[in-house]
Amino acid sequence: MLDEDYTNDKLAAVVEEEVPVSILDSGYLSSIELKREKIRREYAQLFQFTDRTREVDFISTNNDLNKILPSIGEFFKKEVSKGSMMSLELMEEENDWKTLFINIPIRSGADWSGINEIVDSFYDNMFDLFPTVMEKLNIDLVSHEF
């Protein structure tokens, strides 16, 4: 059973967003969990999350980042990871130093000079257009050699 204080609007949103039945069945569906699930679904084709909630919560509390991250993900998926699944990892240090890293897998034999040019342009564009996002976003190129 759902808690009584859930409004019809919230239930409608659940139906609209097609929240998995398992969550409904659990009998506990907070607005926070709904928001998390929405973000997980939005990013499912682009990123894996390193932790179940840390990265999702960071995204949900940083709207400027949330708005542009899907486009950034699409860009790196096409231009750099070549379809390999990327991951999001939140680095948390003391004094509220928090940065969301996009870990991008690079296959062996990749054209590193080309990749470095892409990354360099990415930094240029982001610092020009979205300086506040750049304070909380970074990328890590993860080489996979076998």
Looking at residues 91 to 110 of the shown chain, list those that interact with another protein (rule: CB under 8 A): 91, 93-95, 97, 99, 101
**CA pair distance 117, 109, nearest whole angstrom:** 16
CA R_g for the chain:
18
Residue 113 in contact with another protein, rule: CB under 8 A: no
Q: Which amino acid would we find at residue 102?
A: I
Q: Identify which of residues 28 and 123 has a Cβ nearer to another protein in the complex.
A: 123
Looking at residues 116 to 135 of the shown chain, list those that interact with another protein (rule: CB under 8 A): 120, 123-124, 127, 134-135
**CA pair distance 73, 81, nearest whole angstrom:** 10
Residue 75 in contact with another protein, rule: CB under 8 A: no
Place of tokens 């009584």: 4
Q: Which amino acid would we find at residue 134?
A: M
The residues binding another protein (CB under 8 A) are 91, 93-95, 97, 99, 101, 120, 123-124, 127, 134-135, 138-141, 143, 145
